[in-house]
Amino acid sequence: MPAASQDIADLIARTALKDRTAFRTLYDRTSAKLFGVTLRILKDRAEAEEALQEVYVKVWQRADRYTAGHFSPISWLVAIARNHALDILRARRPRAEDIDQALDIADRDLNPEQYTLARDERGRIELCLSQLEPDRALAVRGAYLDGFSYEELARRHAVNLNTMRTWLRRSLLKLRECLTQ
């Protein structure tokens, strides 16, 4: 194990013994890297800074779980930061609704005639979505079925926020026009 890794492993071991000086030194030596990890995932400086503090609380509480030799100490720390940032993202994003819920259709409560009408309506919506440009249709599904924010969709499609808003507004107008025909 390289000297720098051994030093960090020693600091983690001392942190497990609740050595505050070792913990402070561990923070000084590793916080820039872990901040980079949280910032890259969360894409918001204030949120990444808060996440970093929460990561070090976890490190303080779980330092005794690090086993030297199984992972490099910096990899162990990065994994904690990465997993924590991903947990924040998951908590922020609403769970995706299936298309039945999005359309307020509960198939299991429908009689056969209602079920057929609902299925036909879903088919019309799918047909209208298929008439949009593929990236526009993905954006509409992402915004209204998967719960992505406009900012997330803009990043995902590599367009600016105003362009994404325009895509969604125009796509909804086209969908409305298609569905009323």
Show contacts of 127-130: CB within 8 Å, 24+ apart.
127/178, 128/174, 128/175, 128/178, 128/179, 129/175
Q: How many domains does the chain have?
A: 2
Whether residue 74 is predicted with pLDDT greater than 70 in this model: the reply is: yes
Residue 158 φ/ψ region, left for φ over 0, alpha for ψ in the -120 to 50 degree band, beta for the rest: left
Residues 86 and 114 in one domain: no
For residue 39 the two structure tokens come to: 């910032």
Q: In which band, very low, low, confident or very high, does the pLDDT at 97 lie, cut at 50, 70 and 90?
A: very low
Spatial separation of the C-alpha atoms in residues 61 and 124, rounded to whole Å: 54
Residues 106 and 45 in one domain: no
Whether residue 99 is predicted with pLDDT greater than 50 in this model: the reply is: no
* CATH assignment at residue 84: 1.10.1740.10
Cβ atoms of 134 and 150 within 8 Å: the answer is no
Q: Is 124 helix (H, G, I), strand (E, B) or coil?
A: helix
DSSP state of 95: P
Spatial separation of the C-alpha atoms in residues 60 and 48, rounded to whole Å: 18
Domain boundary residue among 42, 65, 92?
Answer: 92
Residues 54 and 122 in one domain: no
Show contacts of 114-120: CB within 8 Å, 24+ apart.
none
The per-residue pLDDT for range 135-164, each reduced to its tens digit, is 998 888 887 766 778 888 888 889 998 999
Full residue range of the structural domain in which residue 157 is found: 99-179
Domain boundary residue among 27, 59, 92?
Answer: 92
Cβ atoms of 150 and 160 within 8 Å: the answer is no
pLDDT at 90: 79
* CATH assignment at residue 107: 1.10.10.10
Domain boundary residue among 65, 92, 119?
Answer: 92
The model scores a pTM over 0.85: no
Place of tokens 């990236």: 135
Residues 12 and 88 in one domain: yes
Residue 104 φ/ψ region, left for φ over 0, alpha for ψ in the -120 to 50 degree band, beta for the rest: left
Task: Report CA-CA distances (Å) from 113 to 105, 118, 133.
Answer: 13, 9, 33
Percent of the chain with pLDDT over 90: 39
pLDDT at 93: 63
The per-residue pLDDT for range 8-49, each reduced to its tens digit, is 999 999 999 999 999 999 999 999 999 999 998 898 999 999
Residue 61 φ/ψ region, left for φ over 0, alpha for ψ in the -120 to 50 degree band, beta for the rest: alpha
Q: In which band, very low, low, confident or very high, does the pLDDT at 98 lie, cut at 50, 70 and 90?
A: very low
pLDDT at 38: 92
